[in-house]
Amino acid sequence: MPEFKYEINKKVAVLSEKGNYTCEANVITYGENGKPKLDIRKWNRAEDKMQKGITLTKEEAEELYNALKDFDFDQLG
């Protein structure tokens, strides 16, 4: 099985922290020839291991940004 490769190109924000875990938004390139993507996921920084998350293309990130501009965050409680 080939080695899973990724590179964090830019750290955008740490959204939360709990113990050894952080929820981060980063620009990441996956694989040898991959395009940079916005990646939001949990990390175990003590072991430098990624957890579950979501990866968005430029177009998907722009759509999410536009949707959140008008979102009523009070709905979240």
* One-letter amino acid of 9: N
In the three-class reduction of DSSP (H, G, I as helix; E, B as strand; rest coil), residue 46 is classed as: coil
In angstroms, the CA 29 to CA 7 distance is 5
> For residue range 8-25, what is the model confidence (pLDDT) as tens digits?
999 999 999 999 999 999
DSSP summary character for residue 71:
-
Q: What's the pLDDT score for residue 4?
A: 79
Tell me what the mean pLDDT of segment 15-40 comes to: 94
DSSP summary character for residue 70:
T
Domain positions in the chain are 6-70
Q: What's the pLDDT score for residue 54?
A: 97
The listed CATH number (2.40.33.20, 2.30.31.70, 2.60.130.10, 1.10.150.120) that belongs to domain 6-70: 2.30.31.70
> For residue range 51-63, what is the model confidence (pLDDT) as tens digits?
999 999 999 999 9
pTM, full prediction: 0.85
Tell me what the mean pLDDT of segment 38-56 comes to: 92
And the tokens for 65?
A: 């940004």
And the tokens for 52?
A: 């579950």
